[in-house]
């Protein structure tokens, strides 16, 4: 049997997915459905001067052209809705102002998708001109303090300035990462269906309860009147963690049209109005003694945000938590650009931050003539350096040891360019991975049916990560029954409330709630309860009072990899990556392995391919489609050998699991950049590492 916690149980939702019986948001059948297409601005700033709705309204099949001239007026205080990640400052056709190129400015509804698409393309809009900031370099002339969703924008301990001034060895570098876009295979999309004053939304989301709260607050209706359903999410990666404009626009259009409306974003529409990872510029200074011990680190970060919301990529996090040093200073600022507001993207902060810190550590290792693994062991943080708390559990030393051995790191000749094989320049690099452990309050219910099967429910989400599967395993093990007796249902605001499936927290939050519900049901059964019998369970979030928290909670990993670079063409291949993680208990060896591998594949994309290019004249993302925004395909990925150390972090939660959704991408770009340096002697400090930078 493969049904106990940790076993490699094959996805329980697999058969439904491959046979087309797993409905995604766009696939729900609703009678009398009509189709909406969102229209976006073609200028980055200014105001709409005229919009020719009347001509489009006369086109075949058109039912509604909704613009700022006729959109329902919304209660002002509700807009922007609840706190991120549930709600953002969005574009709801309340005024003529345009704030970025690609901002939603109208919705066209027609009988068929083809009619709506044609009509949307025919909508003529003219604009009054205005200045826009479209160049990150220019935007930096005016910096503002960053508002952080995680961590503090400024942090100081010890005296970094003095320690750096007297440090024996110093690395002082600027690292840059570009705009990156999430690109889940399933686009964002919503079906809105009103029955009287009750609204049902079928939405592609990471957070059904967040959609409900945001929509109810924005439209000024009671949360009980809104039901949100999302049984399957075709990838999220952070962009589906917030409720963006199109969700409310779909509900508004459905109300106005008096019909259920389906609004699915076209692929190019996902470059702008639904978030991106912002550019990061990280000025990092490391100071060390000759023996490799770090004495101080300073990190000055600038990331651009939109002109209407202050969202900052928390890239300083790794500096706060990865290595031990007595003096530190981080300072994060934002600049303003006419872009859609950036957002969480897989491992926000750690993904960009580890590129800078782990590249700089490699540079320091070369400056010291020391093995980069040795340098990391010397500076290993035995407690959380930012607050002195002990870790709930940390097995990073074991990760380094295991991955280095499996990779064969001891055979490396550290000299750049020394491992050439024919026309291939071969390089070996390493880096550390890290991501914090999060959990929040979650609820679940467990029901014993008359036929002896069990129904478990929680209003959580499965982004393709394996929530259905691991929750079924937790229930089967807790109840002591075969997993085939378990049916787990999720993705409905009618089910017990669960948090956003973000921050890698679903397993660590919902898993314990499922366990609690099953234990409560067992208790009722033991007391003689007869089917049908239902019990509720709840897992607590972290204590509100910071001081009550005894432990620092974070996951780690060690990455080793090889690159091969064509000496004439600069073409870069990544034939092999070896990684070992310390993430607490892994609840399913098969879906867990897939999470790590998927993260590493994305890390290869971040290292070598991904870059959203903004046209400096128009503010459009010029490669806003999957043909030109490059991500790795099978041929770009070599062997990936992941493992994890045995660990059971019961200080963190009673399942011992810290969650694994995001850590896989962290450290990968630095590991590859470090391997590229080892192969070529060229240090690339701005991603992606494309071949023009190597020639
Ligand atoms: Mo993740 S970027 O917190 O959805």
pLDDT tens-digit series, residues 403-426? 999 999 999 999 999 999 999 999
The span from the first CA to the last CA of the chain, in angstroms, equals: 54
- CB-CB contact of 45 with 131 (8 Å): yes
pLDDT score, position 86: 41
Answer whether the bond into residue 567 is a cis peptide, omega within 30°: no
In this model, does residue 209 exceed pLDDT 70? yes
Q: Which residues are catalytic?
A: 662
Higher pLDDT pick, 214 / 76: 214
In this model, does residue 469 exceed pLDDT 90? yes
Q: Cα of 678 to ligand 1 centre, how many Å?
A: 32
In this model, does residue 671 exceed pLDDT 80? yes
Q: Give the least confident one: 18-27, 108-117, 371-380, 383-392.
A: 383-392
| Residue listed under structure tokens 């990462």 | 177
The H or E element spanning position 462 is none
In this model, does residue 84 exceed pLDDT 50? no
pLDDT score, position 544: 57
- CB-CB contact of 88 with 242 (8 Å): yes
- CB-CB contact of 446 with 454 (8 Å): yes
Structure tokens at 209: 């309860």
Q: Cα of 85 to ligand 1 centre, how many Å?
A: 9
Q: In what order do the strands lie in the sheet with 486-489?
A: 486-489, 454-457, 442-448, 533-539
pLDDT tens-digit series, residues 312-351? 999 999 999 999 999 999 999 999 999 999 999 999 999 9
Q: Which residues pair with 444 in a beta bridge?
A: 537
Surface-to-core class of residue 240, CB atoms within 10 Å of its CB (0-12 exposed, 13-18 middle, 19+ buried): buried
Structure tokens at 193: 């269906």
pLDDT score, position 82: 43
Best substitution site from 662, 664, 666 to test ligand 1's pocket, by max atoms within 8 Å of Cβ? 662
Closest ligand 1 atom to Cα of 348: 2
Q: Give the least confident one: 145-149, 222-226, 309-313, 614-618.
A: 145-149
The H or E element spanning position 553 is none
Mean pLDDT of 640-665: 96
Q: Cα of 658 to ligand 1 centre, how many Å?
A: 15
In this model, does residue 79 exceed pLDDT 90? no
pLDDT tens-digit series, residues 153-205? 899 999 999 999 999 999 999 999 999 999 999 999 999 999 999 999 999 99
Looking at residue 552, the DSSP 8-state letter turns out to be: B
Band of residue 521 on the pLDDT scale cut at 50, 70, 90: very high
HEC assignment per residue over 51-86 = ECHHHHHCCCCEEEEECCCCCCCCCHHHCCCCCCCC
Band of residue 543 on the pLDDT scale cut at 50, 70, 90: low
Residues in contact with ligand 1 by the CB-under-6-Å rule are 206, 236-238, 241, 344-346, 348, 502-503, 662
pLDDT score, position 78: 53
In this model, does residue 77 exceed pLDDT 60? yes
Closest ligand 1 atom to Cα of 241: 4
Closest ligand 1 atom to Cα of 237: 4
pLDDT score, position 393: 96
- CB-CB contact of 599 with 593 (8 Å): no
- CB-CB contact of 567 with 423 (8 Å): yes
Q: Cα of 31 to ligand 1 centre, how many Å?
A: 34
Which amino acid residue places its CA nearest to atom 4 of ligand 1?
Answer: 238
Surface-to-core class of residue 622, CB atoms within 10 Å of its CB (0-12 exposed, 13-18 middle, 19+ buried): middle
Mean pLDDT of 231-247: 96
Q: Name the CA radius of gyration of the chain, rounded.
A: 26
Closest ligand 1 atom to Cα of 662: 1
- CB-CB contact of 572 with 624 (8 Å): no
Angle of helix 589-608 relative to helix 668-680, nearest 10 degrees, comes to 50
How many residues does this entry show for the chain?
Answer: 695
Best substitution site from 86, 241, 664 to test ligand 1's pocket, by max atoms within 8 Å of Cβ? 241
- CB-CB contact of 132 with 152 (8 Å): no
Output the CA torsion sign for 153, 157, 163, 169. Answer: negative
The Cα–Cα gap between 488 and 473 comes to 10
The mean predicted confidence, pLDDT, of the chain is 95
In this model, does residue 546 exceed pLDDT 60? no
Best substitution site from 235, 238, 313 to test ligand 1's pocket, by max atoms within 8 Å of Cβ? 238
Collapsing DSSP to helix, strand or coil, 47 comes out as: strand
Half-sphere exposure of residue 644, counting CA atoms within 13 Å on the CB side? 30
Q: Cα of 342 to ligand 1 centre, how many Å?
A: 12
The Cα–Cα gap between 251 and 84 comes to 20
pLDDT score, position 1: 60
Q: Give the least confident one: 82-86, 153-157, 639-643.
A: 82-86
- Which residue ranges form the domains of the chain, and what is each CATH number? 14-22+440-544 (3.30.365.10), 32-130+182-270 (3.30.365.10), 154-180+276-437+549-694 (3.30.365.10)
Mean pLDDT of 275-285: 98
In this model, does residue 85 exceed pLDDT 50? no
pLDDT score, position 385: 86
CA distances for 469 relative to 96, 409, 472, 568, angstroms = 47, 36, 5, 48
Mean pLDDT of 141-154: 88
- CB-CB contact of 575 with 639 (8 Å): yes
In this model, does residue 106 exceed pLDDT 50? yes
Structure tokens at 135: 């160049």
């Amino acid at each position: 049997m493969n049904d106990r916690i940790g076993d490699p149980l094959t996805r329980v939702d697999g058969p439904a997915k491959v046979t087309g019986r797993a409905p995604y948001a766009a696939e729900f059948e609703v009678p009398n459905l009509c189709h909406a297409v969102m229209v976006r601005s073609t200028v980055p700033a200014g105001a709409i001067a005229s919009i020719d709705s009347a001509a489009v309204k006369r086109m075949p099949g058109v039912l509604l052209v909704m613009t700022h001239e006729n959109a329902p007026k919304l209660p002002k205080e509700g807009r922007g809705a609840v706190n991120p990640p549930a709600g953002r400052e969005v574009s709801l056709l309340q005024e003529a102002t345009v704030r970025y190129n690609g901002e939603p400015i109208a919705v066209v509804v027609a009988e068929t998708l083809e009619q709506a698409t044609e009509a949307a393309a025919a909508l003529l809009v003219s604009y009054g001109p205005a200045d826009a900031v479209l160049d990150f370099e220019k935007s930096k002339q005016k910096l503002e303090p960053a508002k952080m969703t995680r961590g503090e924008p400024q942090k100081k301990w010890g005296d970094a300035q003095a320690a750096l001034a007297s440090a024996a060895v110093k690395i002082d570098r600027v690292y840059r990462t570009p705009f990156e876009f999430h690109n889940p295979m399933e686009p964002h999309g919503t079906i809105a269906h009103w029955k009287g004053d009750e609204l049902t939304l079928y939405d592609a989301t990471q957070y059904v309860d967040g959609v409900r709260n945001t929509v109810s607050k924005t439209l000024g209706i009671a949360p009980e009147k809104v039901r949100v359903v999302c049984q399957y999410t075709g990838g999220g990666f952070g962009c589906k963690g917030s409720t963006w404009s199109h969700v409310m626009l779909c509900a508004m259009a459905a109300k106005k049209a008096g019909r259920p409306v389906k609004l699915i974003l076209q692929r190019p529409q996902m470059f702008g109005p639904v978030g991106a990872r912002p550019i990061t510029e990280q000025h990092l200074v490391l100071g060390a003694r000759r023996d490799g011990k770090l004495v101080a680190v300073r990190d000055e970060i600038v990331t651009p945000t939109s002109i209407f919301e202050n969202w900052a990529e928390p890239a300083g996090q790794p500096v706060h938590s990865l290595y031990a040093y007595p003096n530190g200073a981080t300072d994060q600022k934002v600049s303003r650009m006419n872009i859609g507001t950036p957002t969480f993207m897989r491992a926000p902060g750690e993904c960009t931050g580890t590129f800078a810190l782990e590249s700089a550590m490699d540079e320091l290792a070369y400056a010291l003539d020391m093995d980069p693994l040795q340098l990391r062991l010397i500076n290993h943080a035995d407690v959380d350096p930012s607050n002195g708390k002990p870790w709930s559990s940390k097995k990073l030393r074991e990760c380094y040891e295991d991955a280095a051995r499996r990779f064969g790191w001891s055979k490396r000749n550290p000299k750049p360019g020394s491992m050439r094989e024919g026309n291939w320049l071969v390089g070996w690099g390493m880096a550390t991975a890290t991501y914090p452990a999060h959990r929040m309050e979650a609820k679940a219910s467990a029901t014993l049916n008359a036929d002896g099967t069990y129904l478990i429910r929680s209003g959580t989400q499965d982004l393709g990560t394996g929530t259905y599967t691991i929750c079924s395993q937790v229930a089967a093990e807790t109840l002591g029954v075969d997993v085939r007796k378990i049916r787990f249902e999720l993705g409905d605001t009618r089910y017990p409330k669960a948090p956003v499936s973000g921050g890698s927290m679903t397993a660590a939050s919902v898993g314990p709630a499922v366990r609690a519900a099953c234990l409560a049901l067992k208790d009722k059964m033991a007391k003689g309860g007869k089917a049908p019998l239902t019990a509720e369970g709840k897992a607590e979030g972290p204590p509100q009072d910071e001081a009550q928290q005894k432990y620092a909670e974070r996951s780690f990993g060690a990455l080793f990899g090889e690159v091969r670079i064509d000496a004439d063409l600069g073409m870069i291949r990544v034939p092999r990556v070896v990684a070992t993680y310390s993430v607490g208990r892994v609840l399913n060896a098969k879906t867990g392995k897939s999470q790590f591998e998927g993260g590493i594949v994305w890390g290869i994309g971040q290292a070598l391919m991904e870059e959203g290019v903004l046209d400096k004249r128009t503010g459009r993302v010029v490669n806003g489609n999957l043909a030109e925004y490059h991500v790795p395909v099978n041929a770009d990925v070599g062997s990936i050998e992941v493992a994890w150390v045995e660990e059971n972090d019961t200080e963190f939660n009673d399942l011992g699991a810290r969650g694994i959704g995001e850590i896989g991408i962290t450290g990968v770009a630095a590991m590859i950049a470090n391997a590229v340096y080892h192969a070529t002697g060229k240090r690339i400090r701005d991603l992606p590492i494309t071949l023009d930078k190597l020639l």
